[in-house]
């Protein structure tokens, strides 16, 4: 079975500071990893994905994520946080080896303080 | 290109009633997945359809069912509603079935309140 853990319910960061939202995963085959963002009363929006290749993946709105196979992690990062980045962030994983559903983490609320 | 459209956006039902939610995927997308989102549980996978066939199913009781039509539009139904079914129901479409690497495109969701 595949699973995703987001160990922090909430992350607070000052505007202009770098931010990190943590994610670890478990999957039996090769992982396909995703980050999504959800604003209040909205659906989820895709930010970025890792399928294969370079461990540092760049995505929308200046976000990037680093894939670490040995630590089974896929942390989301941004060099300089904006107040508008405040939202709920979801990490997701799928086993790339077959017809598998996408499993989401429980979400991390990011609060950027002006 | 229009995004994923879910209707209705909000609805209130009472225990014991049933509800049908609709999802129109992005044009050309043949895969539709449904998720239940609650504050304590995050996103829970309900089912995935591709070309009118259910390919994956989550761990929900038989009261939760779905279907997909030939135009890729999908509906999900919940019968004999319980208070615990109150949630945001999200539909997502993708270009390919689960084997693909493509990301999911989500609708705005249908917020169901059961009284």
- CB of B49 closer than 8 Å to CB of B38: no
Over 70: is that where the pLDDT of A37 sits? yes
Of A44, A99, A106, the CB nearest to B106: A44
Beta bridge pairs of residue B87: B112
Q: Which of residues 76-95 of A touch B (CB under 8 A)?
A: 90, 94
Instruction: Work out the percent of chain A whose per-residue pLDDT is above 90.
Output: 77
Query: Under an 8 A CB cutoff, do A46 and B45 touch?
Result: no
d(CA A2, CA A46): 20
Q: What is the pLDDT of residue A102?
A: 86
CB of A63 less than 8 A from some CB of B:
no
Residue B36 in 3-state DSSP? strand
Q: How confident is the model at residue A28 (pLDDT cuts 50, 70, 90)?
A: confident
Query: Under an 8 A CB cutoff, do B56 and A44 touch?
Result: no
Instruction: Work out the percent of chain A whose per-residue pLDDT is above 70.
Output: 96
Searching chain B, which residue's CA lies closest to the CA of residue A9? B40
Higher pLDDT, A102 or A47: A47
Rounded mean pLDDT of chain A? Answer: 92
pLDDT by position in tens, chain B (length 115): 679 999 999 999 999 999 999 999 999 888 899 999 998 788 999 999 988 999 889 999 999 999 999 999 999 999 999 999 999 999 999 876 555 566 899 999 999 999 9
Q: How far away is chain B from the Cα of A99, in angstroms, using its nearest Cα?
A: 5
Q: How confident is the model at residue A101 (pLDDT cuts 50, 70, 90)?
A: confident
d(CA B39, CA A38): 13
CB of A109 less than 8 A from some CB of B:
no
- Which of A43, A89, A90, A96 has the highest number of chain B CBs within 10 A, making it the mutation to test binding with B? A43
* Mean pLDDT on A59-83: 96
Q: How confident is the model at residue A98 (pLDDT cuts 50, 70, 90)?
A: low
Partners of residue B58 in chain A, C-beta under 8 Å: 101
Of B43, B56, B109, the CB nearest to A104: B43
Higher pLDDT, A101 or B5: B5
A53 Cβ contact list (under 8 Å, min separation 6) = none
- Which of B66, B95, B103 has the highest number of chain A CBs within 10 A, making it the mutation to test binding with A? B103
Searching chain B, which residue's CA lies closest to the CA of residue A30? B101
CA atoms within 13 Å, Cβ hemisphere of B82: 6
3-state secondary structure A34-84: EEEEECCCCCEEEEEEECCCCCEEECHHHCEEEEECCCCEEEEEECCCCHH
Of B42, B55, B90, the CB nearest to A105: B42
Over 80: is that where the pLDDT of A59 sits? yes
* Mean pLDDT on A11-17: 98
Q: How confident is the model at residue A1 (pLDDT cuts 50, 70, 90)?
A: confident
Q: What is the dihedral of CA A78, A81, A82, A84, to 10 degrees?
A: 60
Q: What pLDDT digit, counting tens, does each position of A88-97 carry?
A: 999 999 876 6
């Amino acid at each position: 079975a595949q699973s995703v853990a987001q160990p922090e319910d909430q992350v607070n960061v000052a505007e202009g500071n770098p931010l990190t939202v943590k994610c670890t995963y478990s999957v039996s085959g090769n992982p396909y990893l995703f980050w999504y963002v959800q604003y209040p009363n909205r659906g989820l929006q895709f930010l970025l994905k890792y399928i294969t290749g370079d461990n540092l993946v760049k995505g929308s709105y200046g976000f990037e994520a680093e894939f670490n196979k040995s630590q089974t992690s896929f942390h989301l990062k941004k060099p300089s946080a904006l107040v508008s980045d405040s939202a709920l962030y979801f990490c997701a994983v799928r086993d790339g080896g077959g017809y598998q559903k996408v499993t989401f983490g429980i979400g991390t609320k990011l609060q950027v303080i002006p | 290109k229009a995004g994923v459209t879910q209707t209705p956006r909000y609805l209130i039902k009472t225990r014991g009633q049933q509800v049908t939610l609709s999802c129109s995927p992005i044009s050309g997308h043949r895969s539709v997945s449904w998720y239940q989102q609650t504050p304590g549980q995050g996103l829970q996978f309900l089912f995935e359809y591709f070309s009118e066939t259910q390919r994956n199913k989550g761990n929900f009781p038989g009261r939760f069912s779905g279907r997909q039509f030939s135009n890729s539009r999908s509906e999900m139904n919940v019968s004999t509603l319980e208070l615990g079914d109150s949630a945001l129901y999200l539909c997502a479409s993708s270009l390919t079935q689960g084997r693909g690497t493509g990301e999911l495109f989500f609708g705005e969701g249908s917020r169901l309140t059961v009284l």
